[in-house]
């Protein structure tokens, strides 16, 4: 576990340094252009790498396990949205905002599962991770998400990009409903004496 943690830290540090150096290089190469131009070049490169890696990840899915339809729809919509944005050369800022909105709650999502696996199921710590995840997810996906969908729909964007924005929001609304049910269940189970939640 310690080695995996160090490996993740190393990859993160290398990624931050690499993207920073790429931005500096792009800025020097295109010094006659605006700062925004350089940012968009790096954002396009980053989105391209993300799409390629996501495509490779799909090829390496665990097909021997039960397929989660909602998760498959979510990732398909995301990938198609990124490809559409890249092909149309539109919505780079919106795509970055979508990544932020959809990933901001991920650390707590993963923390919930990690705590369960290492023996902290049904503890106050696990409930705190659940509450943090549910709160951050709800605010990001049900406040920030609809605003981003509105911005994307109101702009002069191709119909495919608009459809992907709406599709991602619909999947988020579905998960929001599931998370509300989960939290209701956990809180109700916790309030009953001598019972344990999932």
Per cent of the chain over pLDDT 70 is 89
Instruction: List b or e across 62-101, with b for residues whose CB sees 16 or more CB atoms inside 10 angstroms.
Output: eeeeeeeeeeeebbebbbbbbbbbbeeebbbebbebbeeb
CA dist 135 and 141 (Å) reads 10
Structure-block tokens of residue 150 = 């509105």
What is the rounded average pLDDT of the residues 56-80? 69
Q: Across the chain, what does the average pLDDT equal?
A: 84
196 φ, ψ to 5°? -125, 145
pLDDT per residue over 130-174, tens digit each?
Answer: 999 999 999 999 999 999 999 999 999 999 999 989 988 999 999
Predicted pLDDT of residue 192: 81
16: left (phi over 0), alpha (psi -120 to 50) or beta: alpha
pLDDT digits (tens, 9 = 90+) for 3-55: 776 887 888 889 889 989 999 999 999 899 888 888 888 887 887 787 677 66
Name the pLDDT band for 71 (thresholds 50, 70, 90): confident
Residues 6+ apart with CB under 8 A from 68: none
- pLDDT over threshold 80, residue 88: yes
């Amino acid at each position: 576990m310690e080695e995996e943690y160090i490996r993740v830290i190393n990859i993160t540090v290398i990624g931050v340094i690499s993207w920073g150096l790429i931005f500096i290089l792009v800025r020097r190469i295109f010094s006659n252009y605006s700062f925004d131009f350089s940012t968009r070049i790096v954002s396009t490169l980053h989105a391209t790498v993300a799409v390629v890696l996501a495509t490779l990840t799909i090829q390496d899915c665990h097909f021997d396990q039960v397929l989660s339809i909602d998760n498959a729809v979510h990732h398909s919509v995301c990938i198609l949205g990124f490809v559409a944005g890249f092909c149309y050369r539109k919505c780079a800022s919106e795509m970055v905002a979508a990544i932020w909105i959809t990933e901001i709650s991920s650390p707590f999502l993963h923390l919930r599962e990690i705590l369960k696996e290492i023996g902290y199921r049904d503890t106050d710590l696990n409930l705190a991770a659940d509450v943090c995840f549910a709160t951050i997810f709800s605010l990001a996906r049900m406040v920030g998400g609809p605003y981003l969908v509105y911005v994307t729909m109101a702009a002069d964007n191709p119909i495919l990009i608009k459809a992907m924005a709406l599709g991602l929001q619909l999947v988020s609304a579905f998960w929001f409903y599931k998370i509300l049910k989960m939290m209701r269940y956990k809180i109700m189970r916790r309030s009953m004496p001598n019972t344990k939640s999932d």
